[in-house]
């Protein structure tokens, strides 16, 4: 029978479908042999799969470290251009350049190893366990993130809705101290592994700092960085962060000094930003409070009595301090009539001075008479 124009069955040549129960000898316990063969094959499959996961994890970690080291190198180069030559800075620059070179080499090595792994994976024979995989074991795995762009208004509304719904869970996660506790809590609540949680944790940090609860601020800041590292890893792998947060905890629990130093550095930067933001918010609140108090103080003419008092001559200030009307009149008599009139009207408009009925009219008449006399003398 010719195969020309027919189906190419060569793609199925490597399928090995066996129930592991082929009887090889009537004296062999067939069920025991089946279990032994099956267990051996599963162990080999698990080892192969673990090797692939380790390679993916190492490659992702290498990419993240390379990106961060390149950013450090760029900053050092910019600082060198702006400032004078410095031996310590040059030494640091050479050190970082060497790190970048090594990380690039490591990246290529891991990529090559991944290619070899993929080739091996394609050559593996199929069997009962690989043919009968379950379609869905969990609703969230390495899913490609949604690339749809959100408007600023949609982002704000999404954040507000999410925080209102999960405020209690987010705060609970912010208070966890141990890596294992954090991982388990996110496993039980995978919906928390998102940008909204990270942003909400930072807001909680700022609120604690404003309330001068510094220890609580630092605790929640730590968890905010944990969430940020998970999100960064997801972006590097181009997967849903809910599918890779376990990789972060696996790494951080056995991390080397360089990785831990990087984590601590980001944590310190966040705490500095939180303190700065809290300070700005407190200053803004104080200004608003001062403005509210000022509006309450305004007199009938819309002037602030505190500002008006500060602009008065010393003698007039003293008369107000002692509530001495005679001293005020004496102070006014020593001033130029126009200057005295200016200060008096400001005192009235600010509420510092409340004239009796008709008093201001009499003063205006006297001022007009004085002005007329001066013009007549001329």
Q: Which residue has the tokens 């003419």?
A: 301
Look at the pTM and tell me if it is higher than 0.75: no
Sorted by sequence, the CB contacts under 8 Å of residue 246 that are 6+ apart come out as 183, 187
- Is residue 66 over pLDDT 70? yes
Q: How sure is the predictor about 134, in pLDDT bands with cuts at 50, 70 and 90?
A: very low
Strand partners, 370: none
Q: Where are the alpha helices (DSSP H) in the chain?
A: 30-82, 87-123, 128-131, 152-174, 179-188, 195-210, 214-237, 245-252, 257-297, 305-311, 314-322, 325-333, 337-350, 359-377
Nearest CA to 62 out of 100, 17, 88, 33 is that of 100
- pLDDT, tens only, 247-266: 999 989 888 888 888 999 99
d(CA 307, CA 198): 46
Select the more confidently predicted residue: 58 or 4: 58
Confidence of residue 21 (pLDDT cuts 50, 70, 90): very low
pLDDT: is 285 or 19 the higher one?
Answer: 285
pLDDT, one tens digit per residue, over 263-279 is 999 999 999 999 988 88
CA distance 297 to 351: 9
The fraction of the chain above a pLDDT of 90, given in percent, is 20
Share the mean pLDDT of the chain: 78
- pLDDT, average across residues 79-89: 76
Segment 157-169 mean pLDDT: 88
- Please give the residue that has the higher pLDDT: either 37 or 203: 203
pLDDT at 337: 86
Instruction: State mean pLDDT over 326-330.
Output: 85
Q: What is the DSSP letter of 358?
A: T
More confident residue, 253 or 14: 253
pLDDT grade for 20, boundaries at 50, 70 and 90: very low
Confidence (pLDDT) at 39: 65
Mean pLDDT of all residues in 334-360: 79
Average pLDDT over residues 27-44: 57
- The two tokens of residue 265 are 């550095």
Banded pLDDT at 34 (limits 50, 70, 90): low
| pLDDT (0 to 100) of residue 38 | 56
Which residues lie below 8 Å from residue 368, measured CB to CB, with a gap of 6+?
Answer: none
Give the pLDDT band (50/70/90) at residue 316.
Answer: confident
Are the beta carbons of 198 and 231 closer than 8 angstroms? yes
Is-contact 305 350, C-beta < 8 A?
Answer: yes
């Amino acid at each position: 029978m010719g195969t020309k124009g027919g189906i190419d069955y060569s793609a199925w040549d490597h399928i090995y479908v066996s129930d592991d129960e082929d009887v090889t000898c009537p004296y062999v316990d067939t069920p025991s042999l089946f279990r032994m063969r099956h267990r051996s094959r599963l162990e080999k499959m698990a080892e192969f799969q673990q090797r692939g996961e380790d390679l993916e994890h190492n490659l992702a970690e290498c990419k993240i470290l390379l990106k961060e080291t390149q950013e450090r190198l760029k900053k050092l180069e910019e600082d060198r251009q702006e400032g004078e030559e410095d031996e310590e800075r040059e030494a640091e620059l050479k050190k970082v350049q060497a790190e970048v070179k090594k990380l690039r080499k490591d990246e290529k090595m891991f990529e090559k190893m991944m290619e070899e792994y993929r080739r091996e994976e394609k050559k593996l024979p199929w069997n009962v366990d690989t043919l009968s995989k379950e379609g869905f074991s969990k609703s969230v795995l390495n899913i490609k993130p949604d690339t749809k762009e959100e408007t600023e208004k949609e982002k704000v509304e999404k954040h507000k809705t999410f925080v209102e719904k999960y405020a209690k869970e987010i705060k609970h996660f912010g208070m966890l101290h141990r890596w294992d506790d954090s991982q388990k809590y996110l496993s039980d609540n995978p919906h928390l592994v998102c940008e909204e949680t990270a942003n909400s944790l930072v807001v909680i940090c700022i609120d604690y700092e404003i309330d001068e609860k510094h220890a609580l601020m630092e605790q929640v800041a730590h968890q905010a960085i944990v969430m940020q590292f998970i999100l960064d890893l997801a972006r590097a792998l181009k997967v849903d962060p809910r599918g890779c947060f376990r990789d972060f905890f696996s790494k951080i629990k056995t991390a080397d000094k360089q990785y831990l130093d990087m984590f601590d550095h980001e944590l310190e930067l966040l705490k500095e930003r939180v303190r700065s933001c809290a300070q700005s918010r407190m200053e803004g609140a104080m200004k608003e409070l001062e403005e509210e108090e000022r509006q309450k103080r305004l007199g009938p003419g819309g002037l602030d009595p505190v500002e008006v008092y500060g602009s008065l001559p010393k003698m007039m200030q003293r008369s107000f301090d002692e509530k001495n009307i005679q001293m005020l009149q004496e102070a006014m008599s020593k001033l130029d009539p126009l200057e005295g009139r200016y200060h008096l009207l400001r005192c009235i408009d600010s509420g510092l001075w409340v004239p009796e009925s008709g008093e201001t009219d009499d003063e205006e008449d006297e001022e007009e008479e004085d002005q007329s006399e001066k013009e007549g003398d001329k």
